């Protein structure tokens, strides 16, 4: 059973009561919230995701609740609760759905140490994955959203989950976070794109989330092998161009972009070393998404031989 099999009334009832139990990639979440924008966002963006049976193990319970006191009436705020604690600062109420997404990322990145977890987008084509770590403002998520709508399968736009045993990448497949100018870029690039309402004045600017294509959600059990590590950067008016970079430097950067590399110790080093050893590493600059897609598709064509 998937979320869209429930009526909107039933989704809201579960969120306000026992919790909405939903699976995204390898994780089961219990989400509790009486906030309307949370319900609306889940109904729109998570329609294709499987629901979890009551008897199944729940990895994370996430609660988004209004702040108490006078804040309920004057400039209401929302807080994220995990195990009875609030690890984040309270935010304006209209930030509730982005806060849910950030909270889910936080749960995984701080607790799921049975993976090596990188702060990087990751996509797949013909069984081969491209890992794209990059700092904010680099155009990573814009490029990810563009590729996802041109034949590449989304594994994640934020968290790359690498197995500690066989080095394969497990899909997470949650909605793609887009910010500021990227919103208009993707709407122009994909006229029929489905996005949640835009939230303004967050710490990241204006934010919305793009719905993942249904067929990608249906393939969340299919893992992929790492094949490329690419560090993208948007540069105005620049041609789309790959530049080879050293594996040693690429490994250092991936380590800096990992949430738990040091926590895993020797295991983390060995897993990351294996990723680099089987991957071609590049810097990539681009300005036009169509040109960028052509460069990435050419990588796959070369892989075919």
Average pLDDT by stretches of 10, the chain with 305 residues:
98 98 98 98 98 95 85 80 89 95 97 97 97 87 96 97 98 96 96 96 94 97 98 95 97 96 97 98 96 97 87
Q: What is the pLDDT of residue 190?
A: 95
Burial of 54 (0-12, 13-18, 19+ CB in 10 A): exposed
Taking the domains of the chain in order of start, what are their residue ranges? 3-111, 115-304
Instruction: Find how far residue 142's CA is from the centre of its chain.
Output: 12
| Number of Cβ within a 10 Å radius of residue 17 | 10
Q: What is the pLDDT of residue 72?
A: 63
Question: 3-class SS at 103?
Answer: helix
Nearest-angstrom CA–CA distance, 262 and 28: 26
Q: Which residues pair with residue 124 across a beta bridge?
A: 129, 153
Residue 151 · residue 297 · CB < 8 Å? yes
Radius of gyration over every alpha carbon of the chain, rounded to an integer in angstroms:
19
Query: Token pair of 284, please?
Result: 């990539």
Q: What is the pTM of this model?
A: 0.95
Q: What is the pLDDT of residue 36?
A: 97
Torsion of CA 201, 203, 204, 209, to 10 degrees: -70
Nearest-angstrom CA–CA distance, 301 and 4: 37
φ, ψ of residue 147 in degrees (nearest 5): -65, -40
Nearest to 124 by CA among 172, 181, 66: 172
Q: What is the pLDDT of residue 134?
A: 82
């Amino acid at each position: 059973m998937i979320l869209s099999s429930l009526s909107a009334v039933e989704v809201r009832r579960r969120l306000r009561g026992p919790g909405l139990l939903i699976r995204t990639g390898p994780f089961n979440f219990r989400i509790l919230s009486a906030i309307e924008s949370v319900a609306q966002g889940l109904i729109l963006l998570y329609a294709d995701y499987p629901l979890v049976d009551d008897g199944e193990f729940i990895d994370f319970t996430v609660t988004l609740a209004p702040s108490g006191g006078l804040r309920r009436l004057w400039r209401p705020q929302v807080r994220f609760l995990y195990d009875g604690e609030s690890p984040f600062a309270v935010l304006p109420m209209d930030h509730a759905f982005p806060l849910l997404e950030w909270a889910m990322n936080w749960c995984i990145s701080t607790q799921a140490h049975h993976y090596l977890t990188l702060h990087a987008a990751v996509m797949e084509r013909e069984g081969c994955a491209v890992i794209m770590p990059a700092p904010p403002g680099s155009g990573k998520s814009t490029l990810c959203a563009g590729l996802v709508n041109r034949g590449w399968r989304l594994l994640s736009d934020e968290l790359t989950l690498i197995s500690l045993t066989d080095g394969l990448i497990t899909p997470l497949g949650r909605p793609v976070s887009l910010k500021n100018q990227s919103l208009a870029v993707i709407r122009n690039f994909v006229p029929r794109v489905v996005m949640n309402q835009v939230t303004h004045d967050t710490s990241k600017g204006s934010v919305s989330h793009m719905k993942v294509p249904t067929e990608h959600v249906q393939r969340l059990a299919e893992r992929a092998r790492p094949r490329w590590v690419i560090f993208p950067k948007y540069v105005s008016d620049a041609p789309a161009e790959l530049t080879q970079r050293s594996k040693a430097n690429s490994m250092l950067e991936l380590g800096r972009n990992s949430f738990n590399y040091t926590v895993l110790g020797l295991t983390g080093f060995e897993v990351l070393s294996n990723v680099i050893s089987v991957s071609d590493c590049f810097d990539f600059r681009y300005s036009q998404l169509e040109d960028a897609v052509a460069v990435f598709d050419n990588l796959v064509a070369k892989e075919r031989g």
